[in-house]
Amino acid sequence: MAGDLRVLSIYEGFFAGGARALHSNVVTGLHEGGGQVHSVLSIHREMRRETILQKMDDDPRYRSLSAAGVRVTSLGRSPGSATDPATFSSSELATAAWHATRADIILSLKEQPLRLINQADFPRKPVIVCLHRSDPENQGSALAELNTAIADGRVAACICCAESTKAAYHAAGIPSGMLHVIPNGVDLARFRPAPSSKRALLRRSLGVPPRATVIAFAARYAPMKNVSLFLESARTYLKREHRGHILMCGAGMSAANAELCGDIDTVFAGERRLLHRLHLLGVRHDMEAVYAAADVVSLTSSIGEAAPLCLIEGAMCGAVPVATDIGDCAAIVAGHGIITPRDPDAISAAWTEAVSRRAEFTPSIARSRERFSHTRMIASYAAFIDRIYQEVSAAAPGRH
């Protein structure tokens, strides 16, 4: 691989989430595609998110990267290992510098790793920041770190996963010339509809009757996902639709999460008879099976979303997307799903409508598959990274 562009991605850590899954798929595809050699440096070895201690070595993203030959290392941090997240030890900085000096260009998975990159002793390499949200001012010090890195000349460009991301960061003061959009894509070989015979088996494995109407909710337990609104919608739906079943997947979506159980107790007070049709599945590594078993994939987020993978993955598996109007959801859903206000009656009614119109939406979903191809997305990343590196090198020959 002599002469290939060396690319280092820096993660805050490995844990269940759409941005990490997407970026890891991009890195794997770029590394296997030739022309670029990728590696990953994670600040944390393990992180506590959504009430779960998530270890790097157990993470499916880590395993898929390693299996593809991508070198993945960590600074070794764990919860409580540092009182000030912005402070790095001399040993941590030396390790980070060792990896950075062996790269030609750096990808920062969202803004959080910039607190490491902004350290005075961190080697000066061109940095591309990959942005995956639409609320830059609602992420602690992240926006300030991005502004610092841009002002210091460290950031060469930002990749936005959605038009809403670009608009939000531009409104927050990031120069428009820095912001470039590469829409999210998914593996179409993995995310595809299942034949009716297999669909029945999938439902049975999930404890769902073959003739049920099934709503899937794939999200981590976080305020931005507005889980209470989803539960209120589910309560209304299950009361009205006697064949209805609800599948809840993601980090924190399990009976082990006391906060979620408290939410359920509050929302379903007096209606606990409905709970046998509410299925808490937790983190799943076979989301294609869950989506293929569903009639609808729903999202009720109130902030932060940009281009949610769950809507794309679910639709590519044949589930009709129903979502609140946040980020690029309206553009993703247009023509093959329903956008709803943030009201439980309206959302539950939209689920019923989506089920009844599923046969109508199916051809439109099928026609949109190429638009959401991860092959297209990975090729766009490859060309963009190469172009930015060439531009930086031409502007400052001999610098890198």
Q: Domain 196-372 classified CATH 3.40.50.2000?
A: yes
pLDDT of residue 86: 76
State yes or no: pLDDT of 136 exceeds 90.
yes
In the predicted model, is pLDDT for residue 51 greater than 90?
Answer: no
**Tens-digit pLDDT profile for residues 278-309:** 999 999 999 999 999 999 999 999 999 999 99
Mean pLDDT over the full length of the chain: 94
Structure tokens at 10: 């820096």
Q: What is the pLDDT of residues 203-230, one digit of tens each?
A: 999 999 999 999 999 999 999 999 999 9
What is the share, in percent, of the chain residues with pLDDT greater than 90? Answer: 90
pLDDT digits (tens, 9 = 90+) for 374-389: 999 999 999 999 999 9
The model's confidence at residue 15, banded by pLDDT at 50, 70 and 90, is confident
Give the pLDDT of residue 256: 94
| All CATH 3.40.50.2000 domain ranges in the chain, comma separated | 5-185+374-395, 196-372
274 contacts 245 by C-beta, under 8 angstroms: no
CATH entry 3.40.50.2000 includes domain 5-185+374-395: yes
**Which of 307, 134, 323, 303 has its CA nearest to residue 216?**
323
110-118: average pLDDT: 97
Q: What is the mean pLDDT of residues 188-215?
A: 95
Asked which of 22-31, 134-143, 316-325 is least confident by mean pLDDT, the reply is 134-143
- Does the pLDDT value for residue 248 go beyond 60? yes
